Chains A and B, each alone.
Chain A
């Protein structure tokens, strides 16, 4: 329990740090791009909306930095992230609410699947070191060196086309209305297949490699030799003795590298025009929509923190030592 509490305190601290970074970044923008954008929409914005943007971007010259900071926190707690300029006059929180489920479904499922597949392959490659499985390593190294988005471009050229099974863009058939019926879900799955495979191929190799190296290290431990000497079956030694222990560092590695992976996978959405958060970020960058950018960053960071917490709970379940201490 102590372990979990420590982690939760750490994540709260990180969340505070991320929000604070988010508070200061727009204040470093030289010149005043936000004012000019606000002026552009002057007639169409309510005073309330303008006020909220003033707080978010520190345009209120009269207030001290500290009171700006307090106001900013107040707004975050109310879920007020300002108005998007690209999708004027929709609030940023509204846009994110729509796109977040898409990203969580695509990136969440593929990241988890790639961790599972990569870890299992890594167990085999580490156990049968020197066999043909080692031939996988250079191939996966090459695949992991390819940027996700470029692999996406390649996948679209090769597999998607006007009369191909794989659609090249979007999250569902344009005519459909998002709902929980069979037709829509089938269309959503069909649209997510190609992006999912792209993410899977480029992210799986990292797990294979780290798990293989862990297995190789674990395989020379004394307790493995003892397990063999006891006459346990090869499979039992591999899974219950070696893999079980090699898995621990890999799970904590999973938690730590989530931030890197999620950043990369968001780009796949851009290439496939997938209606998720990554595509929002792309649109925001293209039109200098600062409120949307800030909102996307906050949401991504919070999601990664949540995922980290889940990984920590998994670690807690896997490693009895962490349970004993508390």
Chain B
């Protein structure tokens, strides 16, 4: 042997993943992400409440009783309001309105953002210029004050109207991101190939481009639902949408206007706020799940401390390939260890 062979071994996590198992897991990979799974479970719970809430509520949310402003008890789990209404029932019944407006506004805004974003990215030229200027204008104009003003000019705006207003004003963010992604996709080889084989523009957009935008559309949808829920609750809280329909914002509206704070009636506004926070967190978690699904770099829950086969502990970091001495435990671990392989020597 003339020159000593050099081995540089990259540290790999212990145990090779079985190829067959990996393939099987891939289908459920999104759900297997703990963040996404938690988010989906909580979202599912709220959807369930939205459907069955009005039936399982122990009291009529608007019914008055003689128990005025009472703290949580066995009879009234979340206490009562100034009119003796049961806050627990109000939260349960109110879930339906919140979910309805959130999801409907999300669907409207997502449809608009796909329509505007994808066509602006795909068509290019003057159409692109004007469509992206339009979405930038909607992006820069403060959305919430606009929604407040538009909603307040519509007398007695119900859930449907509120959802429409929110949906029509909050599509711009999604459109911008979709446009950017479409721009990068439209010159890819497979799209060019489809164009060369004579596929129609419509078919290229729906069959070649849209499937590749699924993750972005999904995350845009979830983001819009968060925004819509917040806006709707805000509208109800400042008393714009009809206060005859219960939702979490209406509860907060009454709590604020009846001086719940001054009376120390924390149970009046805490449950509704926590419900909003949990719903928002669940949706954000789903979005993180989608982000990490698309860009694996963002995952933080990977095994950052890895134990190698010979007992070294190495901290994995992005941008670094930890390199190990394979000779033995006692040898110093330096970023790069180059050493003549014992095996090669022995064989020689």
Interface stretch of the complex, out of B78-86, B205-213, B274-282: B274-282
Cβ A281 vs Cβ B148 within 8 A: yes
B202 interfacial contact with A, CB 8 Å:
no
Name the distance in Å between B251's Cβ and chain A's nearest Cβ. 11
Is B145 within 8 A of A300, CB to CB? Answer: yes
How near does chain B come to A10, taking the closest CB pair, in angstroms? 7
Q: Does B136 contact A (CB under 8 A)?
A: yes
- Whether B319 contacts A263 by the Cβ 8 Å rule is no
Identify which of A13, A154, A224, A258 contacts B319 (C-beta below 8 A): A224
CB–CB B297/A14 < 8 A: no
Contact status A150-B276, CB under 8 Å: yes
**B256 touching A271, Cβ below 8 Å:** yes
Interface centre among B149, B234, B256 (most CB of A within 10 A): B149
Known: A134-B300, A154-B273. A14 touches B142 (CB 8 A): no
Residue of B nearest to A237 (CB): B319
Whether the Cβ atoms of A281 and B273 lie closer than 8 Å is no
Chain A contacts for B233, CB-based, 8 A: 147
Question: Is A145 interfacial (CB 8 A cutoff)?
Answer: yes
Q: How large is the interface on B (under 10, 10 to 19, 20 to 34, 35 or more residues)?
A: 35 or more
Contact status B284-A220, CB under 8 Å: no
A271 to B305, CA, bound (A): 46
Inter-subunit contact B238/A282 (CB<8 Å): yes
**CB-CB nearest in chain A for B291:** A213
B56 contacts chain A at the CB level, 8 A cutoff: no
The answer to whether A141 and B239 touch across the interface, beta carbons within 8 angstroms, is: no
Whether, in the assembled complex, A86 has its beta carbon less than 8 Å from a beta carbon of chain B, the answer is no
B46 within 8 A of partner (CB): no
Tell me if A's interface is mostly helix, strand, loop or mixed: helix
Those of A154-178 within 8 Å (CB) of chain B: 154, 156-157, 168
Question: Looking at chain B's contact residues, is the secondary structure mostly helix, strand, loop, or mixed?
Answer: helix
Q: Which B residue sits closest to A221, measured CB to CB?
A: B319
Mask, B315-331, CB within 8 Å of A = 1, is 11111100000000000
Q: Does A293 contact B (CB under 8 A)?
A: yes
Contact status B319-A228, CB under 8 Å: yes
Contacting pair B143 A28 (CB below 8 A): no
Cα–Cα distance between A228 and B335 once the two chains are bound (Å)? 11
- Of B141, B238, B300, which is within 8 A of A129 by CB? B300
Q: Give the interface centre of B145, B238, B273, B305 by most chain A CB atoms within 10 Å.
A: B145
Q: Is the CB of A141 within 8 A of B281?
A: yes
Kindly state the separation between the CA atoms of A277 and B171 in the bound complex, as whole angstroms.
26
Counting CB contacts under 8 A, is A26 at the interface?
Answer: yes
Do A30 and B155 touch (CB < 8 A)?
A: yes
Q: How far is the CB of B102 from chain A (nearest CB, A)?
A: 13
Interface residues of B (CB under 8 A from A): 133, 136-137, 139-146, 148-150, 152-155, 173, 226-227, 230, 233-234, 237-240, 252, 255-256, 261, 264, 266, 269-270, 272-273, 276-281, 283-285, 288, 291, 295, 297-298, 300, 302, 304-305, 315-320
Contacts A31-B155, A150-B273, A263-B145 known; list 13 others, CB within 8 Å.
A17-B137, A130-B316, A145-B277, A145-B278, A146-B280, A147-B233, A150-B276, A153-B256, A157-B264, A228-B320, A256-B173, A286-B238, A293-B148
Name A residues whose Cβ lies closer than 8 Å to a Cβ of B.
10-11, 13-14, 17-18, 21, 25-26, 28-31, 33, 129-130, 134, 137, 141-142, 144-147, 149-150, 153-154, 156-157, 168, 213, 216-217, 219-221, 224-225, 228, 256, 258-260, 262-264, 266-267, 270-271, 281-282, 285-286, 288, 290, 293-294, 296-297, 300-301, 304-305, 308
Could you write out 13 A-B pairs with CB less than 8 Å apart?
Answer: A141-B284, A141-B285, A144-B284, A145-B276, A150-B276, A216-B318, A225-B320, A228-B319, A228-B320, A260-B144, A264-B144, A285-B148, A293-B148
